[in-house]
Amino acid sequence: METVDTVVWALWAMLPAYIPNNAAVLAGGGRPIDGGRTWGGRRVLGDGKTWRGTLIGTAAGTLLALGLTQVAPSVSAALGTDLPTFPLRAGLGLAFGAMLGDIGASFLKRRTGRERGAAFPGLDQLDFVVGALLCALVAAPSWFAETFTLPVLVVVVVATPVLHVVTNGIAYLLGLKNEPW
Ligand code: CTP
Ligand code: K
Ligand code: MG
């Protein structure tokens, strides 16, 4: 595969993982997952991880995966490059995994004394990627092996932090997010 084709393939494959956290920002609120509970004097997760945000984020990513699967043949014909499709388990794995990775990061932030909204460089940009890939691997192993070859994984790990910084910066400037990370 040409490099440009690998980049297009990788970004398309990750779209169901990129959307959930942004949807959660728009939809979040309500009851926090940890119900306000603390551990070691600090919140388990914090008010930034809610049931509603997690549910709507997961649904948004899963629906996007189903939509992308519908349009993949025509878009790949138009672009002249192959694009992956998503079995339901793959889309659900990517979307839920992205939310789970972000929740895991909040858990680590609270354990290391960081308040809600505090930055944790590196973790902030890759938590949802690790969660999404691991969950997709568990939910749809053969699809994962065909979709995420080594060159594709390299593109994902390099390009995602860049995209994350840019989209969160835009969300901050638009007033949708309290911090630019
Ligand atoms: N959000 C949510 N549920 C989630 C993830 C995010 O409701 N599972 C919403 C919350 O309103 C949250 C906002 O999206 O405040 C921004 O998400 P994020 O930056 O991940 O959370 P923070 O508020 O920064 O909290 P933390 O420090 O725990 O990451
Ligand atoms: K986060
Ligand atoms: Mg934040």
Q: Where are the domains of the chain?
A: 3-173
Distance set, CA 79 to CA 2, 73, 75, 76, 145 (Å): 13, 10, 6, 5, 24
Interval 128-173: pLDDT, tens: 999 999 999 999 999 999 999 999 999 999 999 999 999 999 999 9
Distance between Cα 124 and ligand 2 center (Å):
5
Q: How far apart are CA 55 and CA 129, in angstroms?
A: 18
Interval 2-44: pLDDT, tens: 999 999 999 999 999 999 999 999 998 999 999 999 999 999 9
- Does ipTM top 0.85? yes
Q: Which residues line ligand 1 (CB under 6 A)?
A: 24-25, 28-29, 46, 48-50, 53-54, 99, 102-103, 106, 109, 116-118
At residue 50, the 3 state secondary structure works out as strand
What percentage of the chain reaches a pLDDT higher than 70? 100
What token pair was written down for 5?
A: 């084709």
pLDDT band at residue 109 using 50, 70 and 90 as cut-offs:
very high
Pairing of strands 38-39, 42-43: antiparallel
Interval 48-100: pLDDT, tens: 999 999 999 999 999 999 999 999 999 999 999 999 999 999 999 999 999 99
- Is residue 1's pLDDT more than 90? no
Q: Is the CB of residue 14 less than 8 Å from the CB of residue 128? A: no
Ligand 1 site-directed mutation target among 22, 25, 181, most atoms within 8 Å of CB: 25
Q: pTM of whole model > 0.90? A: yes
Distance set, CA 38 to CA 35, 41, 103, 106, 165 (Å): 9, 6, 15, 13, 30
